[in-house]
Each structure stands twice: as C-alpha cells, then as structure tokens.
Amino acid sequence: MTDIFLETRNLKKVYPDGTEALKNITLTFNKGELVSIIGPSGAGKSTFLRSINRLNQPSSGEVIFQNEQITNVKGKKLLLVRRQIGMIFQDFNLIKRSTTVRNVLHGRLGYMSSLKGAFGRFSEEDVKEALAILRRVGLEDHAFKRADELSGGQQQRVGIARAIAQKPALILADEPIASLDPSSSSNVMNYLKTISEEDGITTIVNLHQVDVAKRFASRIIGIKAGEVVFDGKPNELTEQRINEIYDQRGLVNELTS
C-alpha cells in the first residue's frame, strides 16, 4: 500500500472565462484503493477527474500515472493512457441507438486499429469478453437490446461494463449515482466496490452523498472551491469536518439524514 500509483502535483485549472476551478491540488493515490471525493457542486470535483484522463487540459501542474508524466502527452500516447483509465459518467453517456453489447465493446476501441474500431469489426475474443462482462454486471439477457431501452440503473451498469472492458488500471466515476434512485444507487455502488476489490482497480468516485461515500469508500477527500480541505479515513470525517466542507449547516443535515 506504499507504492504511489497516481499523483497530482499543484494541479491548476483556469477556464477561459476566468473561473478558477482547481487551485494547487496535490494528492497521491495508492494501488487498489477506492477513494471518494466529496464536496459541494461547483467545487471542482468533476474538473479534477477530467484533468486526470485529460478530457480537460490542466492549466498548470503535473499528473503522474504509474510513474509516468502524462500531463502533456499527445496523440497516440494520450489514447494509450486513456485506455488504461475507465470513466463512468453521471448521465451514463451511452450511445443510445447502439446495442448494449456494442456499448461495452466501445471499451475495446483503444486496443484496436483505428479503422477496425471505426467500422466496428470487433474480434471474437473481444465480443466474448464483452458478453462475459455483461454477465458479470447481471445484464446478459439485455445484450442485444438498444441501450436506451434499459432503465437508468441498468444503463449505468453498462457504463461500468464499458469501463471494465478497457481492462483499466484506474476507474474514474463522475457522480455515477446522481441520476439514479436510491436502490439502483446502492446496486451500482456495490458493483463498483466489488470490481475495485476483485480486480484490484484503483477507483476514484465523485459523490455528493456523504453517507454513500462513508459507506463504500476506504478513503475520503473533501474538495471545496478548488482546494483539498479534507483527506482521511471515513471514520475521521466528523460532523464538524462535513460542515467545514459544505459550509452550510442546513444542507449537511439534509444530506446526512
């Protein structure tokens, strides 16, 4: 648990309109841990995740992933980095008109030649693997349905399946349960936790539900206005610290009750 797996140094992001989304974020993550990032909306949680797989280009600072500087990698190299990092989104972001299994197969795009992937010529092993992953998230009977025919919770499980298909070393989940009802939420979180533990995948989950974070994460990071204000074990996150993160007593009561 001592080798550093992912590290950010003085990460900064200023948007073109002048908003300072991240201010000097310096964090380290270990192999296999499930970390939850909490904080009010607009605190910069999403920007932080998207800076790691470079869907957002950080303004300054460094991202070191498996002992490699990836802050400025470009082109082919960037694609190789991205394929090792699975991402799960709040709104699932599936290709709605494509089938479930096709959406999972999209996780293999980074491993294929550009043209083969473009025309969807997936290999037999990839297809079998994708079907096996769908079985793992309990969706084998929905493999050939169009993605938009599934319920929200099921769609998010397809999102997880797509991330696993990448055989990632790291999974980033950006508010994965914000659009789901409570029972689907804990179902999805259970899958994330199981996969993180069984496959030893480091998982970083943005959440705004503090209770969920406490229940599932092995470590919690609090971000407020682009700065880290808490970093510790779930049991160290006291009522008072939560208040500090959210800075709003009423909201916290609402969230923890």
By the criterion CB under 8 A, which residues form the site for other proteins? 53, 55, 79-87, 89, 91, 93-99, 101, 106-107, 109-111, 114-115, 117-120, 124, 127-128, 131-132, 140, 143-146, 149, 159, 162, 166
Alpha carbon distance 139, 28 (integer Å) = 35
Strand pairing partners for 87? 172
Comparing CB distances to other proteins, the nearer of 65 and 230 is 65
φ and ψ of 131, to 5 deg: -65, -40
End-to-end alpha carbon distance in the chain = 34
Supply the minimum distance, in Å, between the C-beta of residue 162 and other proteins: 7
Supply the minimum distance, in Å, between the C-beta of residue 90 and other proteins: 9
Comparing CB distances to other proteins, the nearer of 132 and 255 is 132
Supply the minimum distance, in Å, between the C-beta of residue 22 and other proteins: 18
Question: CA separation (Å) from 168 to 4, 81, 195, 248?
Answer: 17, 10, 11, 37
Comparing CB distances to other proteins, the nearer of 3 and 124 is 124
Alpha carbon distance 193, 201 (integer Å) = 10
Comparing CB distances to other proteins, the nearer of 168 and 222 is 168
Comparing CB distances to other proteins, the nearer of 27 and 143 is 143
Alpha carbon distance 62, 51 (integer Å) = 10
**How deeply is 206 buried, as exposed, middle or buried, from its count of CB atoms within 10 A (0-12, 13-18, 19+)?**
buried
Comparing CB distances to other proteins, the nearer of 85 and 137 is 85
Supply the minimum distance, in Å, between the C-beta of residue 53 and other proteins: 6
Comparing CB distances to other proteins, the nearer of 43 and 94 is 94
Alpha carbon distance 225, 193 (integer Å) = 28
Supply the minimum distance, in Å, between the C-beta of residue 148 and other proteins: 10
Supply the minimum distance, in Å, between the C-beta of residue 35 and other proteins: 18
Question: CA separation (Å) from 254 to 7, 225, 227, 257?
Answer: 33, 21, 23, 6
Give me the helices (H) in the chain, please.
Answer: 45-52, 75-83, 100-105, 114-118, 124-136, 152-165, 182-199, 210-216, 239-246, 249-256
Supply the minimum distance, in Å, between the C-beta of residue 46 and other proteins: 11
